Structure 1
Amino acid sequence: MAAGIVAAATQVATAQDFAGKTIDFTIPFSESGGSAQWANFFAPLLSKALPGGPTVVVRYRPGAGSTAGANWFQGEQDNASGLSIFGDSGSTKFPYLLGDPRVRYEYADWQPVLASATGGVVYLPPALGERFDGDMDDLKDEAYLYGSQGATTLDLVPLLAFRMLGLKVDPVFGVEGRGDGRLMFERGEANIDYQTSSAYIANVQPLVDNGSAVPIFTWGALNEAGEIVRDPTFPDMPSFKEVCEATEGCETSGVAWDAYKAFFVAGFANQKTIFLPKSAPAEVVNAYTAALNDIVTADGFKESANEVLGAYPQLTGAAAVEATKQATAITPEAKQYVLDWLKEDYGITME
């Protein structure tokens, strides 16, 4: 598959040659979640598309909701070799947006070369899932346990959505990745979960197929007008917006909705990004940009990506830079709403 995707690659940046080199592709999560699926999809394609055919190895640095790995990468900003790249997630962007004191990284110091959108699916055990009929009204009296990386990670989106729907969800904080949350669900230690699209396709669809999980809705996707619509990877599932509209007390306008949408954009519309250190010279950046552009425009890429990642945009070059700028900015009103909610519900303050 990989050979077919990069067969059409054009000659790139002859001044840059990675022959015989090993590139470390670091992601700040465990190897059981969606980021691992994403990174391991792109790593062999990059290996074939970059000049000289280097070995691209995915490294895992989980901890502190991904801020530990991101702080480590901040220390790589003087590394101009092009042999260290980093993949973030919404769990990395959210603490940055909220002013989390654990954050010692600065997105302005990083050079984005690929921006990937994704989606996510919420699912329940069969006994609860069979009661879902398009709204959550009949499921509000249940007590839910949810394995969470932390309220300021990518889990901010589901926790806020559950609150808006009026669900009584008790998060069990401290899991290292969404894959660990899924394992809690499989062991019966949690009775509500969500996974990003790539992890859902790989690890949850088999549970659905064998009758041990029931999907109920997706987070949706953004259309060209900036509106939340059904996820193109799961067009038969309602979006959170649809379920919210159908559920008593859940509103799709006002400050809560604005806050939800802001973090949905940062967490899903541009969820994962590949970065080089700021010190990487222009020829290195150009080599990566050309290689990634060749990958995502090659014949067969969309079909193979859909099978693993879902049907989402993969942006390179200037488009990746602009998408990253949008995903790492937030209005003061949305930020304050979330800060107030985190303090009220979880006792979390950004101090």
Structure 2
Amino acid sequence: MTLSTFTRRAAMAIAATAAFALPASADVDMSGKTIEWTIPFSETGGSAKWANFFAPLLSEALPGNPTVVVKFMPGAGSTKGANWFQEQTGGDGTVMFGSSGSTQFPYLLGDPRVRYEYNDWNPVMASGTGGVAYLNAEAGAKFDGSANNLKDMTFIYGNQGATRLDIIPALAWKMLGMNVEHVLGIKGRGDGRKMFESGEATIDYQTSSGYLKGSAQLVEAGKAVPMMTWGSIDAAGNIVRDPTFPDMPTFKEVCEATDGCETSGDQWDAWKAFFVAGFPSQKIAFLPAGTDQEIIDTFSNAFASIAARDDFAEISAARLGKYPMYTGKDAKGALTNAITVSDSAKAFVQGWLKEDFGVELN
């Protein structure tokens, strides 16, 4: 599937999934069962907020109204939980897993800790998200829409790991010529926000759900200043303003306004390729290998019925942001985009990680 095809589907995803969803099979009854939805991060981050938002809706939509419990298995930048899920086979619908870009990127880059294979898993729902980078009050007072006045400052950032989704902010700040020191090994972006709140970090980024839930309050209190979003992708594959934060400039806009930052060439192409892999289909719900197709269809249709709710657009925008949701064939297409980047983009990022972080993957 091409990016253009994928993004055209994104514009119509909710309507499409609702229109083509089939009723769940009468043979599937999950009455009295408990579904454990494992998230490979801490309970303070965007993935936790995503799963906790959908869990009660999924309980209501599945036949028999089973209990859906969100569990957390942080460690090794999410590869611990993903490796565990790889071993879960023959699913009866009581085991789910929630992947994020920070799980996808190690897989893409050949991180030696990866012992999981996305192609073995069964995606039943995928949803996009965005991200917001923000500064502390001191740096925010100097920010004028470019990074020119920030280049003489040293920033501290709580980083989940060199091969995680934090590639997106780390490479963006490098392209802007900013001096950012990375404290590696935090268990989730919520822990990065805690570092920022305590003053241990002076720059941060959150996915949209984490920003809406926690960081926006820091902005309201004058303790943080928004810098930029990563943007969104339109039907032609261009980066445009994030629909959840239309008043914030994108990284592309800030780059264009900053001396020495280029929105063309190998560095830009690599950043954009990983952004596309990491955000338009950033969070994906899976059932394990070996799950009966009847159960897979039941879960896909349950998520489609959630998307078809009259109140879904409103409640999801408030908690997660304004992004498309995919089920069925579209969820599989979203997964394909999430685990596909060009060899040239991969090679560039692997070289940059070796040079800047001492991480050798090739």
Give, as a single letter, the amino acid of the residue that structure 1 aligns with 2:24. Answer: V
Match of 1:125 among 118, 124, 136: 136
Paired with 1:181 and 1:134, the residues of 2 have a C-alpha distance of: 24
Paired with 2:334 and 2:237, the residues of 1 have a C-alpha distance of: 13
SS at match of 2:356: helix
Paired with 1:258 and 1:14, the residues of 2 have a C-alpha distance of: 48
Paired with 1:68 and 1:131, the residues of 2 have a C-alpha distance of: 40
1:289-338 alpha-carbon deviations (Å, 9 max, x no partner): 11000001210100000000000001111011011111101111001100
Structure 1 residue 49: deviation in Å?
Answer: 0.2
1:200-255 alpha-carbon deviations (Å, 9 max, x no partner): 00001111111111111101011111111100000000000110111111111111
The answer to whether the 8 A contact 1:27-1:35 is kept is yes
Match of 1:14 among 16, 26, 31: 26
- Name the structure 2 match of 1:3: none
Match of 1:72 among 77, 84, 94: 84
2:304 counterpart of 1:293: yes
Structure 1 residue 259: deviation in Å?
Answer: 0.7
Give, as a single letter, the amino acid of the residue that structure 2 aligns with 1:133. Answer: D
The answer to whether the 8 A contact 1:259-1:335 is kept is yes
Matches within 5 A, 1:2-81: 11-76=23-88, 78-81=89-92
SS at match of 1:215: strand
- Name the structure 1 match of 2:126: 115
Match of 2:176 among 152, 165, 175: 165
SS at match of 1:214: strand
- Name the structure 1 match of 2:108: 97
- Name the structure 1 match of 2:286: 275
TM-score normalised to structure 1 length? 0.96
Paired with 1:330 and 1:205, the residues of 2 have a C-alpha distance of: 32
Structure 1 residue 11: deviation in Å?
Answer: 4.7
The answer to whether the 8 A contact 1:126-1:212 is kept is yes
SS at match of 2:253: helix
Match of 2:347 among 328, 336, 341: 336
SS at match of 1:86: strand
The answer to whether the 8 A contact 1:82-1:276 is kept is yes
2:266 counterpart of 1:260: no
Paired with 1:218 and 1:13, the residues of 2 have a C-alpha distance of: 42
Paired with 2:280 and 2:97, the residues of 1 have a C-alpha distance of: 19
Match of 1:234 among 220, 245, 249: 245
Paired with 1:56 and 1:80, the residues of 2 have a C-alpha distance of: 15
SS at match of 2:279: helix
Give, as a single letter, the amino acid of the residue that structure 1 aligns with 2:278. Answer: G
Percent of matched pairs sharing the same residue = 58
Structure 1 residue 10: deviation in Å?
Answer: 8.1
TM-score normalised to structure 2 length? 0.93
SS at match of 1:269: coil
The answer to whether the 8 A contact 1:10-1:294 is kept is no
Paired with 1:262 and 1:73, the residues of 2 have a C-alpha distance of: 27
Give, as a single letter, the amino acid of the residue that structure 1 aligns with 2:146. Answer: D
1:106-141 alpha-carbon deviations (Å, 9 max, x no partner): 011011111110001111111111211110011111
Give, as a single letter, the amino acid of the residue that structure 1 aligns with 2:72. Answer: Y
CA RMSD of aligned residues (A): 1.2
The answer to whether the 8 A contact 1:17-1:51 is kept is yes
Give, as a single letter, the amino acid of the residue that structure 2 aligns with 1:41. Answer: F
- Name the structure 1 match of 2:94: 83
Segments of 5+ residues of structure 2 without an aligned counterpart are 1-17
Match of 1:145 among 119, 135, 156: 156
Paired with 2:172 and 2:341, the residues of 1 have a C-alpha distance of: 18
Matches within 5 A, 1:301-320: 301-320=312-331
Structure 1 residue 79: deviation in Å?
Answer: 2.6
Give, as a single letter, the amino acid of the residue that structure 1 aligns with 2:128. Answer: A
SS at match of 2:290: coil
SS at match of 2:306: helix
The answer to whether the 8 A contact 1:46-1:291 is kept is yes
Structure 1 residue ranges (4+ consecutive) displaced by more than 4 angstroms after TM superposition: none
Paired with 2:91 and 2:160, the residues of 1 have a C-alpha distance of: 32
The answer to whether the 8 A contact 1:182-1:193 is kept is yes
The answer to whether the 8 A contact 1:88-1:273 is kept is yes
Segments of 5+ residues of structure 1 without an aligned counterpart are 1-5
SS at match of 2:124: strand
